[in-house]
Amino acid sequence: MKVILDTNFLVYCAKEKIDYMDEIEQLFNEKIDVLVPIQVINELHSITRKKKLRIPLERRSARFKKTTGKDKEAAALAIQMVEKYVFDGKIEKVNTEGKNVDDALLQLAQREKHIVCTLDRELRGKLGRVILINQYKKLMLTK
């Protein structure tokens, strides 16, 4: 079985200091192949490059509403963690087709029947079985 990581999952884990690799192995009680699409890594890099807006949070457009300085730091930490795990051979970077990250995740998950780690409600609805983080900061498999 293979697990695919989404951007918001990686950023949240970095913010909350959750070791997702250990959690995934504990969830399945076995070694799991973990994949990260190149689009996810590119999105993490774009989050770290976003400029800080001086507009109050409530007046920002929906596109920039959730990007904060903490998100930038968490995205940078997420990149470091992914690169470390890739170097250690625990995560595999994969090239996928798709216009954006969600398309790439959907395509990869549906084609190969992989499970996606995501916190995105819209994406969770399209996928069915996903891994998410519960209120106790533990990973949980839906359905």
- Please tell me the predicted confidence (pLDDT) of residue 113: 86
- In three-state secondary structure terms, 45 is helix
Each residue's pLDDT tens digit, 48-91: 987 665 556 566 555 555 566 788 899 999 999 999 999 999 99
In this predicted structure, the answer to whether residue 22 has a pLDDT above a threshold of 60 is yes
Nearest-5° Cα angle at 79, 77 to 82: 110
What CA–CA distances, in Å, run from 44 to 1, 12, 93, 131, 141?
25, 12, 14, 20, 24
The CA distance from 19 to 25, in Å, is 10
- Please tell me the predicted confidence (pLDDT) of residue 111: 86
Q: Give the pLDDT mean for 88-96.
A: 94
Q: Give the pLDDT mean for 20-37.
A: 92
- Please tell me the predicted confidence (pLDDT) of residue 82: 96
User: Do 119 and 8 touch, CB atoms closer than 8 A?
Assistant: yes
The per-residue pLDDT of the chain, averaged, comes to: 88
Q: How many Cα atoms sit within 13 Å of 71 on the Cβ side?
A: 18
Least confident of 67-76, 102-111, 123-132: 67-76
Q: Which residues pair with 133 in a beta bridge?
A: 139
Domains of the chain by range and CATH?
Answer: 2-141 (3.40.50.1010)
- Please tell me the predicted confidence (pLDDT) of residue 75: 93
In this predicted structure, the answer to whether residue 112 has a pLDDT above a threshold of 90 is no
- Please tell me the predicted confidence (pLDDT) of residue 54: 59
From the list 113, 62, 84, the residue with the least C-alpha distance to 10 is 84
From the list 11, 85, 94, the residue with the least C-alpha distance to 48 is 11
